[in-house]
A and B are shown apart, each in its own frame.
Chain A
């Protein structure tokens, strides 16, 4: 057989066949559901009189809308009645169809992309979908994980298949080692800065190279999470010892003889040495510095030692116009150093950076220091109830509280501001999330994407600062 990439292998293992219209049906092993993109899918299923194909391939949890305060009140704690109806609808659908759900009061509730891997629901070699573009996160486990729209959520519920054309293969290789103080988030921001938000459209990215191998599973999830910000629907990392160590012993992971059988298969989930990629980016991770996004697209990113771009230096009028528009929205000037940007709020959380390792990195910076008085609010929102409990047990929560951060309950929170956590117009926020689009964190809000350590450092200094100088 011809040499194959990791993506080719997982794809090939799931092809059911070709439909009458010529499109490929891909079998889906796991669907994750949340309250925002599933109600219309369940409604469609009901209207058509169809039943879910395989109940045991679904896992649900509410995350986008849930408040991060007063969690003990459960559903009653959702003061926005429309949001509440959405969470209640998820409860009702899961109950009606017998779908496993970690509901708002369950200690395992959290952001779907944190919960799946944490529970061992995410396994190597799987095909995974969710009505959420950051499903790419699960690719860190050599799974083919893709975000889909609501019609496809319904389609997968009804048929266990996703109908699509195969994507191309994109190789992103990070050589060398990330320097101290430079994290997985900085790596992926730098990649997006180079290839742009449409750079990998129509492709599945495989991240490899020494710097990727050296990342923890949390770090790999951070990198794969933002594949979508580089235009790719999926990002993947090959299986190694670290992958298996993470998965073993998780509640939904196989055990005993089943584990041995699975492990033998999983070990082969790597690209063949002579596999051919359609596209390639090579970068030297050893040269990277902490990154900060300055504009309104994740590709508008610079190093902490740099200044805002100047439209005069743009390659064409289109780009110059984009820079001008973004600077105007952000209330910033051309050539202004990024360290001059003062922060109104700081948000540490989201499916990109709300795992235990992220909280440890932020706490290491916050320990013994205080949030600057000019910062109106600095909040830490763990990715799941279990991450929250672990951070409390490790004493991280106390470090944050002592430093003046708010310690919240798990959910998407200010990543997209569907719940009460949001920016006011004109406010600048250092955020560990993944999108800095206009209004993403609140109407007129100005988001800067950074790593957890850089967000904590910005909270302490009141403006962006190089975390490496602090420690």
Chain B
């Protein structure tokens, strides 16, 4: 997982509630068997006027100049400012991969859908939860003619605005450690291999019907 410490960059405002993962990365791009190649299709249905398909590059497409992602001011955006319930809908982790590949390092919103929220931490995309008023304040700040640059400092849990004002945010300390250090999540769990084995033995004794079920049968039609 990619570590997150201190990042500075432009923030792009996306003023819509309930942005779902079908919008973040539409289904036709989920056919890939790889973890990469999604950045060019981030917000595909809003970003382009024509229907996207895998393999087409952005310069072959009809750009929707109305959509904020195509605004020249935000070409280098690293933070996404969003509204409530961001990332709702499908569990597709491709949404997080697409945001990161495009260049986003953090999302700032009042609330997130659960699965999207945990998918973020698995990849090193920082989902910052801020109160409604603070999000509103940031949207107002973004209302001017020039793009706004922020500094997000995860260790100290602060966002620094252009005028030097800092806004604090809170993050689950358990998740913070892994993110700051970029730790391997599976490795962290496998460090408890003996605990899992011990649990499994007891579980097998208590509920034997849950074991040795899907073996040696049902091999498909080959």
Q: Check if A and B associate.
A: yes
Check: B67 CB closer than 8 A to any chain A CB: no
Residues of A within 8 A of B85 (CB): 197-198, 201, 231
**A358 on interface, CB distance cutoff 8 Å:** no
Contact, CB under 8 Å: B27 / A149: no
Evaluate contact between B192 and A17: CB separation under 8 angstroms: yes
Q: By the criterion of a CB under 8 Å from any partner CB, how many residues of chain A are at the interface?
A: 98
Nearest-CB residue, chain A, relative to B211: A56
Most buried by B among A27, A198, A322: A198
Mark each residue of chain A from 195 to 210: 1 if its CB lies under 8 Å from any CB of chain B, else 0.
0011001100000000
* Cβ-neighbour of B115 out of A155, A233, A325 (below 8 A): A233
Name which residue of chain B comes closest to A45, CB basis: B186
- For B165-185 the 0/1 string (1 means CB < 8 A from A) is 000000011110110000101
Docked Cα-Cα span, A322 to B188, in Å, equals 42
Q: A106-B221, A198-B113 are in contact. Are A132 and B196 (CB under 8 A)?
A: no
B200 CB within 8 Å of chain A: yes
Are A159 and B111 within 8 A (Cβ)? no
Is A164 part of the contact surface with B, judged by Cβ < 8 Å?
Answer: yes
Give B187-216 as 1s and 0s: 1 = Cβ < 8 Å from A's Cβ atoms: 011111001100110010011111111110
A48 at the interface (CB under 8 A from B): yes
CB–CB A103/B186 < 8 A: no
Residues A163 and B214 in contact in the complex (CB < 8 Å), given A198-B18, A261-B209: no
For B177, the chain A residues whose CB sits under 8 A away are 21
Chain A residues with CB under 8 Å of B192's CB are 16-17, 19, 25
Question: Is B9's beta carbon under 8 Å from chain A?
Answer: no
Tell whether A159 pairs with B210 under 8 Å between CB atoms, given A27-B196, A418-B28.
Answer: no
Contact call A25/B196, Cβ cutoff below 8 A: yes
> Roughly how many angstroms separate A325 CA and B83 CA in the complex, as a whole number?
15
Q: Which one of B26, B54, B183, B214 contacts A58 once the chains associate, using CB atoms below 8 Å?
A: B214
Chain B residues in 8 Å Cβ range of A23: 174-175
Q: Chain B residues with Cβ under 8 A from A103's Cβ?
A: 220-222
Q: List B contacts of A86 (CB < 8 A).
A: 31-33
- Quick check: which of A77-85, A369-377, A396-404 contacts chain B, the rest being far away? A77-85
Is B22 within 8 A of A100, CB to CB?
no
Residues of A contacting B112 in the complex (Cβ-Cβ under 8 angstroms)? 201
Q: Say whether B220 contacts A101, CB under 8 Å.
A: yes
User: Residue A16 contacts which of B178, B191, B199 (CB distance < 8 angstroms)?
Assistant: B199
Least distance between A129 CB and chain B CB atoms (Å): 10
Which residues of chain A are within 8 angstroms of B35 by Cβ–Cβ distance? 40, 43, 150
Bound Cα distance A131, B93 (Å): 9
CA–CA, A22 to B183, complex, Å? 14
Chain B residues positioned under 8 Å from A20 (CB to CB): 188, 191
**Which of B71-79, B117-125, B141-149 touches A?**
B117-125
13 additional A-B pairs beyond A16-B192, A161-B189, beta carbons within 8 Å, are A27-B196, A27-B200, A85-B31, A86-B31, A126-B210, A149-B92, A149-B122, A155-B122, A160-B196, A201-B114, A259-B209, A438-B23, A438-B45
- List 17 interface pairs A-B (beta carbons < 8 Å), by A numbering: A19-B188, A20-B188, A21-B188, A37-B91, A39-B34, A85-B33, A100-B214, A101-B218, A108-B218, A125-B207, A133-B91, A147-B115, A151-B119, A151-B123, A163-B188, A198-B84, A258-B209
Q: Which residues of B contact A (CB under 8 A)?
A: 16-18, 20, 22-23, 26-28, 30-35, 45, 51, 54, 83-85, 88-94, 96, 111-115, 118-119, 122-123, 172-175, 177-178, 183, 185-186, 188-192, 195-196, 199-200, 203, 206-215, 217-222
The 5 closest A-B pairs by CB, nearest first: A149-B93, A151-B122, A103-B220, A39-B33, A149-B119
Q: A-side interface residues toward B, CB under 8 Å? A: 13-14, 16-17, 19-23, 25, 27, 29-30, 36-37, 39-40, 43, 48, 50, 53-59, 64-65, 80, 82-83, 85-86, 89, 91, 94, 98, 100-103, 105-106, 108, 121, 123, 125-126, 131-133, 147-152, 154-155, 158-161, 163-165, 167, 197-198, 201-202, 228, 231-233, 252, 254, 258-259, 261-262, 265, 297, 318, 322, 325, 416-418, 425, 435, 437-440, 443-444
